[in-house]
Amino acid sequence: MSSTKNVNRLRLVLLLGAFSALGPLTIDMYLPSFPEIAADFGTRASLVQLSLTACLVGLGLGQIIMGPLSDVHGRRRPIIISLILYLIASFVCAVSPNIVYFIAARFVQGFAASAGIVISRAIIRDVYSGPELTKFFSLLMLVNNIFPLIAPVAGGSVIAFTSWVGVFVVLGTVGLVLVILATVNLKETLPAQKRISGNFGELIRGIRTLLKDREFTGYALAQGIMIGGVFAYVSGTPFIYQNIYGASPQLFAILFGSNGISLILGSQIVGRFTHVISERQFLRFGLLLSGASSLAALLVILLHGPLLALVIPLFFFVASIGTTSTASFSLAMGSQSHMAGSASALLGLLPFLLGAFTSPLVGIAGEYTAVPMGVIILSTSLLAILAYFGLAHKSQASYSPCS
């Protein structure tokens, strides 16, 4: 009986991991192609980075729409429809005649991919709670964090044999496979009697209720601001590694992908030791680690240090994301069983909207300086610390002096 339960658990985590992996695949796989896309369209680096911004806006806005919709219509139907839209948008990206069409198609692609992220998290909350929720989410993060390792390497390999267009053909094919998997294997986890009304006003009131929850908002802001900083790193490193340090697209993919190991370590440590160390302690540690490592990265940039000296603090900066995202998700979702889709949507909205804001700022001073990236990741780390200690931590202290 136990082995059957473990097999079903593994199948669920792999299926949900595949859905939520659309986010990192969509974001990371085309990163090695940035210089080639800029040259092919005859445009500036900042406009190519704007395509990442458009994708992130789509991912953010899509979650705030698809999360509540899944609370109304269930989890299965919205995710299947979104996956069909994703594969269409991916092929449109591949045939875009200019950067404007490409940016628009990237927005739609991100919007469609958002359902995989937000609904997979809501499904977890439908099925699990408490420490089991944290453990399962850490398993999902393990599967999900493999893709930041694979995606840039795969993208670099694709453009070694073809152009950047091939990257989006591959993404479209992935979308087709996921449509088939969802249709065949995904079961509905939100029964009709547990769904909320489809009244738009009620959905808005539910979101307002979540935002008025000081503790939930503190966790959401801490996670969102931190990941906003990560997107500055994601947007900046393709040009920093390749244009400033002279790395090839393949070397960039390896360096960028190796930092995915730190994401895995950060998230798995939380899942493995959550019965010994509380999620709040892990969250505090992750926030402090992000502050220290981002400060070190900025110092290396200002002192014009070698590539290795920059890669090391960025490794620990990304590791802090694995820790904070796992812990903050579990803490924020733990008390939101009646609005899991809406709560998951809000947790997903902030990172992508903030990432959409920080991504183009990285290139504001040109392609040959890393200072904006260093300033942004340090600033977001400090703001995330302030958000947690100013909202979530204070809220907890008011209920429990021992926290």
pLDDT at 339 over 70: no
d(CA 115, CA 67): 7
Whole-number pLDDT of residue 366? 64
Distance of CA 348 to the CA centre of its chain: 8
d(CA 59, CA 23): 8
User: Which residues, other chains included, contact 342 with Cβ-Cβ below 8 Å and sequence gap of 6+?
Assistant: 67, 68, 71, 203, 206, 207, 210, 336
Q: What percent of the chain has pLDDT over 90?
A: 25
pLDDT at 308 over 80: yes
Among residues 120, 117, 139, which one has the least CA distance to residue 56?
117
SS3 162: coil
Q: Is 201 exposed, middle or buried (0-12, 13-18, 19+ CB in 10 A)?
A: exposed
pLDDT in tens, 239-248: 788 888 888 8
**Helix boundaries (H) for 186-278:** 200-212, 214-239, 249-273
More confident residue, 213 or 291: 291
Cβ atoms of residues 204 and 192 within 8 Å: no
Whole-number pLDDT of residue 287? 93
pLDDT in tens, 164-223: 999 999 999 999 999 999 998 888 888 777 777 665 566 677 777 777 888 888 888 888
Place of tokens 């960039």: 252
pLDDT in tens, 5-54: 666 777 887 888 888 888 888 988 888 888 889 888 988 877 888 898 89
Q: Tell the CATH superfamily of the 2-186+202-397 domain.
A: MFS general substrate transporter like domains (1.20.1250.20)
SS3 275: coil
d(CA 276, CA 380): 29
Long-range CB pairs of 6-9 (<8 Å, 24+ gap) are 9/136, 9/139
SS3 372: helix
User: Which residues, other chains included, contact 220 with Cβ-Cβ below 8 Å and sequence gap of 6+?
Assistant: 328, 332, 346, 347, 350
More confident residue, 354 or 99: 99
Please state the domain extents for the chain.
Answer: 2-186+202-397
SS3 128: coil
Q: What percent of the chain has pLDDT over 70?
A: 88
Distances (CA, A) of 238 to 35, 100, 156, 255, 270: 8, 21, 11, 10, 30
DSSP state at residue 186:
P
d(CA 163, CA 151): 16
Angle at 317 between CA 385 and CA 348, to 5 degrees: 65
Q: Is the pTM of this model over 0.95?
A: no
Percentages (nearest 5) of helix, strand, coil residues in the chain: 85, 0, 15
Q: What's the pLDDT band for 402 if we cut at 50, 70, 90?
A: very low
Query: Nearest 10 degrees: CA dihedral of 127, 336, 62, 124?
Result: -20
Among residues 242, 245, 243, 227, which one has the least CA distance to residue 377?
227
